[in-house]
Amino acid sequence: MADSWVNSAEILGSDLPLELSGTGNRRAVLMRALREAITSGRLAPGTRLPPYRSLAVDLGLARNTVADAYAELVAEGWLAARQGSGTRVAERAVPLSRTYRQRTRERTARPVHDLVQGKPDPSVFPRTAWLASARRALDRAPHDAFGPGDPHGRAELREALTAYLARVRGVRTSPERIVLCSGAAHGLRLLADVVGGPWAVEAYGLPFHRELLAGHGVRTRPVAVDEHGARIGELGRGERAVLLTPAHQFPTGGPLHPERRAAAVDWARATGGLVVEDDYDGEFRYDRQPVGAVQGLDPEHVVLLGSVSKSLSPTLRIGWMVLPERLVDGVLAAKGEREQWSSATEQLTLADFVGSGSYDRQVRRMRQRHRRRRDQLVAALERRAPHVRVSGIAAGLHAVLDLPRGTERSVVRAAAWQGLAVDGLSSYLHPAAVGAGARRDGLVVGYATPPEHGYEEALAALCRALPPE
């Protein structure tokens, strides 16, 4: 049977197509398509379906074919039909008999608890302080703030960041050498276009960043990671840049050793390469002294990438690039003639938020909260799984739980059965590093996301999923 697409804007009031494809009689094909639309979430519980006569006309099917399909799906529990209210997706659209694979998919698709790294709890956004900054910023905003945006970013925010980053991260720069962007990913895209490749990257890191670079034609080579961070001695002369997370290696944890920080700068000077420093959570430290940015060692050979996605919210879409002078014009040219990525009014608001001290207060507040969350995680493991080693906890928003070799996949599956979303450590390993003895079994546990009322149960679910001693 040929594929048939019906625009549900006409029949369901939302932009979601209904696809008919596959073999079998027409009633079976229609039933299969409706089941798929329901299980995938495209047809939510309570959604009203079109009258069978209308759907029959739209699909070119006999009325009895559609009517019989509706009736059978009602009998199976997928749909509900009531006189006067038409046919709707059942509020609990669960078939009477399901396969093991279907049940697994349902549980993993809708986790009860979220311990995936990298996502702050949206409920702790500082709404009152942000609103006060927004009012002040709008009141003082010059008229040009409401015209075409400058790709360099608002001068007010670049000036505020210059002072803040110097004070908190030891960054040496000027407002002219800061280019605002929508986040670290946007900054990487721009650098990939300007610098070219290949790049060296840490063997453990965000797959998204590697895929992003590859999408811009930049090939990556993994550099091994140990307890002192990336092994800088493995860098060669063939790479144009190296992407590092020196403040807190992502995701294994720990700062880059001072000797290796200096070695990275020496490599860049000797080869003409570039150190790209992803400062993704440099402000969140707990049991150690502050670690300054590598950029402060050599502003002409290091790019620092930062954003407010962890400290405030990823929805603000505001980040920054602290650039060597020689790269500023190229990055601005790559970005385009006008600002297309982040709102000028939000940039002005952040400038006031930083300048007024509200940002410092928010970071301190979040640091205290995350430290308390971290301590709860460690305490829960000591009580319920003392045989599991936890590492990478001196800073950041996540921890790594080491697991016995060969158990990671089964533990991730067990976590899913507990209604828990959590990542395995191996999912962050560069594919080319798999055969080099670099693989570790473990979990990357983010402790920032769960709400307060659900955090203890999330930890209990985590401990239930861990292997016994």
pLDDT value of position 192: 96
Q: Checking phi first, is residue 454 left (phi over 0); if not, alpha (psi -120 to 50) or beta? A: alpha
Task: Give exposure, 115-140, as e/b (b: 16+ Cβ within 10 Å).
Answer: bbbbbbbeebebeebbebbbebbeee
Q: What is the mean pLDDT of the chain?
A: 86
Structure tokens at 429: 């390993």
Q: What does the alpha-carbon distance between residue 152 and residue 23 come to, in Å, rounded to a whole number? A: 56
Structure tokens at 349: 């608001």
Q: What does the alpha-carbon distance between residue 340 and residue 148 come to, in Å, rounded to a whole number? A: 9
**Residue 50 amino acid letter:** P
SS3 182: coil
Cα dist. 312→61, 105, 116, 318, 454 in Å?
A: 53, 33, 18, 10, 21
Under 8 Å between Cβ of 274 and 326: no
pLDDT band at 90 (very low <50, low <70, confident <90, very high): confident
Q: What does the alpha-carbon distance between residue 406 and residue 409 come to, in Å, rounded to a whole number? A: 7
Question: DSSP 3-state helix, strand, coil percentages of the chain (rounded to 5)?
Answer: 45, 15, 40
The single-letter DSSP state of residue 285 is: B
147: Cβ–Cβ under 8 A, 6 or more apart, which residues?
none
More confident of the two residues 283 and 368: 368
Structure tokens at 324: 């060597």
Q: What does the alpha-carbon distance between residue 49 and residue 197 come to, in Å, rounded to a whole number? A: 52
pLDDT band at 339 (very low <50, low <70, confident <90, very high): confident
The verdict on pTM exceeding 0.95 is: no
Q: Are strands 241-244 and 420-421 parallel, antiparallel or unpaired?
A: unpaired
Under 8 Å between Cβ of 243 and 211: no
Residue 103, pLDDT > 50, answer no
Going by C-alpha positions, the residue among 385, 341, 313 that lies closest to residue 124 is 313
pLDDT value of position 23: 62
pLDDT band at 276 (very low <50, low <70, confident <90, very high): very high
Residue 101, pLDDT > 80, answer no
Q: What does the alpha-carbon distance between residue 239 and residue 219 come to, in Å, rounded to a whole number? A: 9
Number of H helices, E strands in the chain: 15, 19
Cβ–Cβ contacts within 10 Å for residue 444, how many? 25
Under 8 Å between Cβ of 425 and 204: yes
Residue 64, pLDDT > 90, answer no
pLDDT band at 360 (very low <50, low <70, confident <90, very high): very high
Under 8 Å between Cβ of 281 and 310: yes
The single-letter DSSP state of residue 16 is: -
pLDDT value of position 44: 82
Structure tokens at 414: 């067990």
Residue 435, pLDDT > 80, answer no
**Mean pLDDT, to the nearest integer, of 28-32?**
85
Residue 57, pLDDT > 60, answer yes
pLDDT band at 16 (very low <50, low <70, confident <90, very high): very low
Q: Which string of DSSP letters, residue by residue, matches 27-55? A: HHHHHHHHHHHHHTTSS-TTPBPPPHHHH
166: Cβ–Cβ under 8 A, 6 or more apart, which residues?
172, 173
Residue 330, pLDDT > 80, answer yes
Q: Which string of DSSP letters, residue by residue, matches 393-430? A: -SBSSEEEEE--TT-HHHHHHHHHHTTEE-EEGGGGB-
Going by C-alpha positions, the residue among 313, 246, 241, 230 that lies closest to residue 280 is 246
pLDDT band at 306 (very low <50, low <70, confident <90, very high): very high
Residue 13, pLDDT > 80, answer no
Share of the chain above pLDDT 70, in %: 88
Structure tokens at 345: 């009014």
Give residue-wise pLDDT tens across range 361-385. Answer: 999 999 999 999 999 999 999 999 9
Find tokens 């209904």 and name the residue: 18
Under 8 Å between Cβ of 318 and 359: no
Q: What does the alpha-carbon distance between residue 379 and residue 360 come to, in Å, rounded to a whole number? A: 28
pLDDT value of position 286: 78
pLDDT band at 110 (very low <50, low <70, confident <90, very high): low
69: Cβ–Cβ under 8 A, 6 or more apart, which residues?
27, 30, 31, 34
pLDDT value of position 24: 66
Q: What does the alpha-carbon distance between residue 250 and residue 244 come to, in Å, rounded to a whole number? A: 9
Find tokens 């205290």 and name the residue: 368
Strands (DSSP E) contained in 59-149 are 79-82, 86-89, 113-114
pLDDT value of position 437: 52
Cβ–Cβ contacts within 10 Å for residue 172, how many? 17
Give residue-wise pLDDT tens across range 158-189. Answer: 999 999 999 999 999 999 999 999 999 999 99
**Mean pLDDT, to the nearest integer, of 281-290?**
76
Share of the chain above pLDDT 90, in %: 55
pLDDT value of position 97: 39
HSE (CB half, 13 Å, CA atoms) of 117? 25
Q: Are strands 423-424 and 229-230 parallel, antiparallel or unpaired?
A: unpaired
Ordered structural domains, the chain, with CATH: 4-97 (1.10.10.10), 113-123+361-465 (3.90.1150.10), 126-356 (3.40.640.10)
Cβ–Cβ contacts within 10 Å for residue 288, how many? 11
Q: Are strands 199-202 and 241-244 parallel, antiparallel or unpaired?
A: parallel
